[in-house]
């Protein structure tokens, strides 16, 4: 199975700051990557698919990039409602998730 290594595990940032979360696959996943946001007590919500496509209704301050084995999620101009955990997930092979990043406000 494809291992997904996500970093950092936790992150503290200020309102208005730009935040970047990284995800590394154990082999090439050919842009078969999604990012999810999960708030406490809620189910994950799809943000990005195909590594860089914004899901319907997701604010444009979220963006995804990368290729091969290295991918990233960027949040521009951090808002208070962005406080959450974020997970990457590959679907090139049977689906696997990264370990998650917990984003808090500084």
Residues forming contacts to other proteins in the complex (CB under 8 A) are 1, 32-34, 36, 42-46, 49-50, 53, 55, 87, 89, 91, 94-100
Backbone torsions φ then ψ of 92, nearest 5 degrees: -70, -40
Q: How far is the CB of 43 from other proteins (least distance, A)?
A: 4
CB atoms within 10 A of CB 50: 12
Q: How far is the CB of 38 from other proteins (least distance, A)?
A: 8
Looking at the Cβ atoms of 60 and 94, the one nearer to other proteins is: 94
Looking at the Cβ atoms of 62 and 87, the one nearer to other proteins is: 87
Q: How far is the CB of 62 from other proteins (least distance, A)?
A: 14
Backbone torsions φ then ψ of 74, nearest 5 degrees: -115, 135
Concatenated DSSP letters of 8-44? -SEEEE-TT--EEEEEEESS--TT-EEEEEE-TTS--
Looking at the Cβ atoms of 1 and 16, the one nearer to other proteins is: 1
Place of tokens 């990012």: 35
Looking at the Cβ atoms of 16 and 40, the one nearer to other proteins is: 40
């Amino acid at each position: 199975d494809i291992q997904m290594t996500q970093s950092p595990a936790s992150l503290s940032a200020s309102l208005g700051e730009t935040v970047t979360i990284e995800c590394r696959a154990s082999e090439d996943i050919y842009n078969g990557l999604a990012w999810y946001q999960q708030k406490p007590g809620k189910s994950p919500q799809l943000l990005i698919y195909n590594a860089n496509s914004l899901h319907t209704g997701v604010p444009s301050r979220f963006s995804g990039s990368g290729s091969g084995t290295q991918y990233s999620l960027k949040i521009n101009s951090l808002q208070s409602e962005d406080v959450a955990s974020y997970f990457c997930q590959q679907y090139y092979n049977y689906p696997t998730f990264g370990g998650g990043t917990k984003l808090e406000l500084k």
